[in-house]
Amino acid sequence: MPSDRATGIHDLSLATTEFVLPHAALAGHNGTEIGKYHVGIGQRSMSVPAADEDIVTMGAAAAAPIIARHGTDRIRTVVFATESSIDQAKSAGVYVHSLLGLPSATRVVELKQACYGGTAALQFAIGLVLRDPRQQVLVIASDISKYDLDSPGESTQGAAAVAMLVAADPALVRVEEPSGLFTADVMDFWRPNYRDAALVDGEESITAYLQAVENTWTDYAKQGGRPLDEFAAFCYHQPFTKMAYKAHRHLLNTCGQDTDGARIQQAVGHTTAYNKVIGNSYTASAYLGLAALLDQADDMTDRPIGFLSYGSGSVAEFFAGTAVPGYREHLRTAAHHEAIDRRGTLDYATYRELHEASFPTDGGHHPTPPQTTGPFRLAALRSHKRIYERR
């Protein structure tokens, strides 16, 4: 029988890459005024993956602290959300399942719908826990945002993973009903199977995003959701951090409310701290915003948080969550700062080499240089198989 117990995010952990490229280095290469990046899109730097890391190594690194704290006995499902998939058939989560030593009595699946996939995974996980509150679900959202060199999207690149343990009686955030939903068939952003880098129509994507903000809120209100004034903060998907400000201004306009800059800053400012130095992490982006909010904001206990998840193409959802009493005792603030601060700074030439590198497709043995210092690495491609190592 379904349970009426609170369900939501019991634990949250993030990971990012070994390297970082400051936007100052990008501006120095292409002659762009640095204010276009620091102010125009609100970005300071972007995480860059090493040759021996990918969505699996990041996802495993994000999830490992959760397993260390809670064990595996109650985890019977892993949902891996990504739009940077490494295989058309096998879930990236199966590799993570192996690296983490999870029980064989586990279902593992990969979800895709652009940047919305992380929220889809969270909502599916909540449904499983409501069906059987004894179970917990490990949700992993992991992505590498990659665009062509010297393209308009290059400055918004990034990479990160967020792992969330979804459970009954959560220690961090109680996820509420209802949700506001919206889908529209638009070509604002896409990546055909034959391309490594995504294609994007920037103006169309902003327009589609704002349309999704308006329509998800309208549906949320029709479903009996909270009034706008009850929310203490909003976690938006952040393809670049200035988009969170644009989105919230549009929501306020939609609701006929004042768009005072200080009000917008109070609503979204804390949520941009990690994204502005990591870059776009696609499915993980909104939940990097949640991590930054909980790690930095004054006590959020019992204060509603709005979530707007947007995935190009497009699917979007607005829902609410509330930080539960005692949530601060379970945060991983120091570890999150360490994950960001440990990255080695790249010059533009080295970044370009990493960006252009790719595996041969001949099925031979192709080891990767050991560039990472984290707990997991992509060791090689051998006979068309990815080989991972646990340190």
| Dihedral angle of Cα 263, 265, 270, 276, to the nearest 10 degrees | 160
The reported pLDDT for the residue numbered 3 is 44
The reported pLDDT for the residue numbered 204 is 93
Q: Active site residue: 23, 237, 270, 355, which one?
A: 237
- Decide if 179 contacts 320 (C-beta within 8 A): no
Q: Active site residue: 97, 110, 115, 336, which one?
A: 115
Q: Do domains 7-174+331-390 and 175-326 have the same CATH topology?
A: yes
- Decide if 51 contacts 63 (C-beta within 8 A): no
The reported pLDDT for the residue numbered 196 is 87
Q: Does domain 7-174+331-390 have CATH number 3.40.47.10?
A: yes
The reported pLDDT for the residue numbered 5 is 78
For the question of residue 115 being annotated catalytic, the response is: yes
* Domain ranges across the chain: 7-174+331-390, 175-326
Q: Tokens 């998800």 — which residue?
A: 216
Q: Active site residue: 53, 83, 176, 317, which one?
A: 83
CB within 8 A of 383, min separation 6: which ones?
Answer: 363, 365
Q: Please report which helix (H) or strand (E) contains residue 164, including its range.
A: strand 158-168
The reported pLDDT for the residue numbered 324 is 98
Longest distance between any two alpha carbons in the chain, whole Å = 62
Tokens for 254, please give them: 């939609």
Task: Identify any residues that bridge with 292 across adjacent strands, giving them in sequence order.
Answer: none
CB within 8 A of 192, min separation 6: which ones?
Answer: 199
The reported pLDDT for the residue numbered 1 is 33
pLDDT in tens, the chain (391 residues): 344 579 999 999 999 999 999 999 999 999 999 999 999 999 999 999 999 999 999 999 999 999 999 999 999 999 999 999 999 999 999 999 999 999 999 999 999 999 999 999 999 999 999 999 999 999 999 999 999 999 999 999 999 999 999 999 999 999 999 999 999 999 999 999 999 888 989 899 999 999 999 999 999 999 999 999 999 999 999 999 999 999 999 999 999 999 999 999 999 999 999 999 999 999 999 999 999 999 999 999 999 999 999 999 999 999 999 999 999 999 999 999 999 999 999 999 999 999 999 999 999 999 999 999 999 999 999 999 999 999 9
- Residue from 12, 15, 75, 13 nearest 375 by CA: 15
Q: Does domain 175-326 have CATH number 3.40.47.10?
A: yes
The reported pLDDT for the residue numbered 2 is 40
End-to-end CA distance of the chain: 42
